[in-house]
Homo-oligomer: A and B are copies of this chain.
Amino acid sequence: MGKLRKIKSGTITSPKGFLASGIACGIKKSGKKDLAVILSEWPAVAAALFTTNNVRAWTVLYSERAIRNPRHRAILATSGNANCLNGENGKRAVIEAIRQLSKQSGIPKSQILIAQTGIIGRPFPVDAVRKGIPEAVKRLSRAQGKAAARAILTTDVRSKEAVYETNIGARVVRAAAIAKGAGMIRPNMATMLCFITTDVSITKALLKKALRESAGVILNSLAIDNDMSTNDTVFVLANGASGAKKISRPGIDFEKFKSLLSAVCRDIARQIILGAEGGTHLAEIEIKGARSDDEALTAGRHIGTSMLVKSMFAGADPNVGRITAAVGSSGARFSPARLKVFLGSVCVFRKGEVINGNLSRARKVLLKKIYRITVDLAAGKGSSLFLATDLTKRYVEINSTYST
């Protein structure tokens, strides 16, 4: 009772009262799925996180306002075209898509959120979306959760889905997420798109707080490269369908819900890194002993976004100097003489000195698909966990020919 449980092969419709669909409407020339709808059978409260990029897609500009409404029932998402930096045509496309979904589903426009992903700077094929929406609405069902997960992907190799449950009082409550991950992934918004559903009953204000304190921290702690998208969006819908008592103040139930959200987001974060374009390793970079959690995150991010460190991960080359140089240039305060660095459980740096005798054991750690790097700054109690992928020739290959 109260423990978190992972629901294997669950999806975005695993929490009660949610339906979804995913179809191919023609945005993608490949004919792959590119339009998803997620719908709550009852009015829900919603919260969101958006990219902090000064250049933002039309869909982000729209949803930044729409999220202020008190109730929401639907998320409309498309993939293949970011609908960004494409002039007034793009703005009209968002309005038109919302209008069509409202008309076909009977849900008020004010209760619909929208997110889009794909290539930037191209005219948006709004006709395809308008024609596809009736089909997407018709297919809405619990069984279509996995189709929705596929429909938000771009170059991702596989879908990213995570579902966990816990108990609040005598009731089982669930949270589920789907994400679009590969590509432009980095703080301050780890996923291009991440949609979370939960049947918890909670106030809109507390939902927002929980999202920032769980998903916000986790999804800002991973990096494939050092870029931030114009479209990054996280939505959570909480519809109360579990029947559990409403969370209306911070306390045990609120903390339980945050743990539930965190579990879902951590799982998604790992899937994003493991599914990264051109990535072959997942490095969990743990910073301990920082002066603050913020400094720990900064140090972890510097390591996780260093091109030299990431190249070293690709070659499984224990070039410890690159890690210490990256943490040294992060601005985090520490004494180099007290710094300790571990690759897996192998200590490779201590007392101002690289331990060369341990490097061949350390190399074996870096040859694993998933490993942990621990950096102890010995300067305080701040900590962080940052997830990074490696920088491979394949990454460069994929990203040097994306648009053409």
Q: Which residues of A does B touch, CB under 8 Å?
A: 51-56, 82, 84-88, 119-123, 184, 225-230, 305-309, 311-312, 314-315, 317-322, 324-329, 332-334, 336, 339, 349, 351-354, 356, 363, 391-393, 395-397, 399-404
Q: Which residues of B contact A351 (CB under 8 A)?
A: 87
Most B-side CB within 10 Å, residue of A308, A326, A334: A308
Nearest CB in chain B: distance from A130 CB, A: 22
Q: Which residues of B contact A54 (CB under 8 A)?
A: 327-329, 332-334, 336
Within 8 Å by CB of A325, from B184, B320, B334, B353, lies B184
Given contacts A327-B55, A351-B87, contact A317 B404 (CB under 8 A): yes
| Interface contacts beyond A121-B353, A227-B306, A318-B404: sample of 10 additional A-B pairs, CB < 8 Å, sorted by A | A52-B329, A55-B324, A85-B324, A119-B321, A120-B322, A121-B320, A121-B354, A122-B354, A307-B395, A393-B393
Q: Which residues of B contact A88 (CB under 8 A)?
A: 352
Are A314 and B84 closer than 8 Å at their CB atoms?
no
Q: Which residues of B contact A315 (CB under 8 A)?
A: 399-401, 404
Are B53 and A325 closer than 8 Å at their CB atoms?
yes
Are A354 and B86 closer than 8 Å at their CB atoms?
yes
Q: Which residues of B contact A312 (CB under 8 A)?
A: 399-400, 402
Instruction: Please name 12 pairs of A and B residues whose Cβ atoms are closer than 8 Å in the assembled complex, sorted by A.
Output: A54-B329, A85-B354, A87-B353, A120-B320, A226-B226, A227-B308, A227-B309, A228-B325, A230-B321, A312-B402, A317-B402, A363-B404
A401 CA to B308 CA, complexed, in Å: 11
Most B-side CB within 10 Å, residue of A123, A311, A352: A311
Are B308 and A184 closer than 8 Å at their CB atoms?
yes
Q: Which residues of B contact A56 (CB under 8 A)?
A: 328, 336
Given contacts A87-B353, A225-B308, A308-B225, contact A396 B396 (CB under 8 A): yes
Q: Which residues of B contact A226 (CB under 8 A)?
A: 226, 305-307
Are A53 and B328 closer than 8 Å at their CB atoms?
yes
A337 CA to B346 CA, complexed, in Å: 52
Within 8 Å by CB of A230, from B119, B328, B391, lies B328
A82 CA to B121 CA, complexed, in Å: 45
Given contacts A55-B327, A354-B121, contact A321 B85 (CB under 8 A): yes
Nearest CB in chain B: distance from A380 CB, A: 15
Given contacts A321-B120, A329-B228, contact A311 B396 (CB under 8 A): yes
Nearest CB in chain B: distance from A235 CB, A: 21
Q: Which residue of B lies closest to A334 (CB)?
A: B54
A227 CA to B227 CA, complexed, in Å: 15
Nearest CB in chain B: distance from A139 CB, A: 31
Q: Which residues of B contact A392 (CB under 8 A)?
A: 396
Q: Which residues of B contact A334 (CB under 8 A)?
A: 54
Nearest CB in chain B: distance from A121 CB, A: 3
Q: Which residues of B contact A306 (CB under 8 A)?
A: 225-227
Nearest CB in chain B: distance from A236 CB, A: 24
Q: Which residue of B lies closest to A121 (CB)?
A: B354
